[in-house]
């Protein structure tokens, strides 16, 4: 065999080895160095950790029985429902509608304080909205809200009663819906 053929055979063998071992070497290097690691998926809402189960924490709360099989989008307002409150109720209504066919998996809940809301307004503008007065639950929700985020936002509870996310009040409803759709898609419950 000539020297040219031997050299060519060695080059071919090195190319085959590089094709096989090259990606393995690059993947190992990326794994151990953290190179090209994505920053992760960003949520528009804040994940609430550690996750608490409302049903376990507040067994007497009516909210636990509402959530059987449903995701709950909760807005809590301890004061009289005026312009900001009405806008927030409108936001959760529209957000639920934006879920499309998935909207049947989500219930809207309005936790109001001791002042009862205008029932005529709620029935005319927000059919299907569940209005509750539960000061203990409101307190618990606000304790779980991230301190750096403003109050007056929306809480998301999964069908098992776990408090999952908090969306700040000024957040674009479309961004809130992105997170909720992602969770609904990944969830096999509710």
Q: What is the DSSP string of the chain?
A: --HHHHHHHHHHHHHHHHHHHHHHHHHHHHHHH-TT----PPPSSEE-SS--BHHHH-TT-THHHHTTTSEEEEEEE-S---HHHHHHHHHHHHHHHHTGGGGGGEEEEEEE-SS---HHHHHHH-TT-EEEE-HHHHHHHHHHS-TTSPSS-EEEE-TTSBEEEEE-TTS-HHHHHHHHHHHHHH-S--
Q: What is the pLDDT of residues 22-61, one digit of tens each?
A: 888 888 887 777 776 665 556 788 888 888 888 888 877 7
Higher pLDDT: 63 or 183? It is: 183
Interval 141-159 mean pLDDT:
89
Instruction: Note whether 166 and 44 are within 8 A (CB).
Output: no
Sign of the C-alpha dihedral computed for residues 56, 61, 67 and 68 taken in this order: positive
Average pLDDT, the chain: 85
- Per mean pLDDT, which range of 35-39, 157-161, 163-167 is the poorest? 35-39
């Amino acid at each position: 065999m000539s020297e040219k053929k031997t050299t060519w055979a060695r080059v071919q063998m090195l190319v085959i080895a590089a094709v096989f071992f090259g990606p393995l070497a690059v993947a190992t290097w990326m794994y151990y160095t953290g190179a090209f690691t994505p920053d992760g998926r960003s949520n528009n809402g804040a994940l609430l950790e550690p996750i608490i189960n409302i049903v376990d924490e507040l067994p007497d709360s009516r909210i636990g029985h509402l959530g059987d099989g449903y995701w709950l989008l909760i807005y809590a307002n301890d004061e009289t429902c005026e312009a900001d409150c009405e806008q927030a109720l409108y936001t959760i209504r529209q957000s639920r509608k934006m879920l499309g066919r998935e909207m049947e998996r989500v219930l809207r809940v309005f936790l109001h304080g001791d002042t009862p809301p205008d029932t005529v307004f709620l029935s005319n503008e927000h059919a299907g909205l569940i209005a509750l007065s539960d000061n203990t639950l409101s307190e618990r929700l606000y304790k779980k809200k991230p301190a750096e985020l403003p109050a007056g936002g929306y809480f998301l509870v999964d069908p098992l009663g776990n408090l999952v996310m908090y969306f700040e009040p000024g957040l674009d409803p479309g961004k809130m819906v992105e997170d909720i759709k992602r969770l609904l898609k990944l969830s096999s419950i509710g």
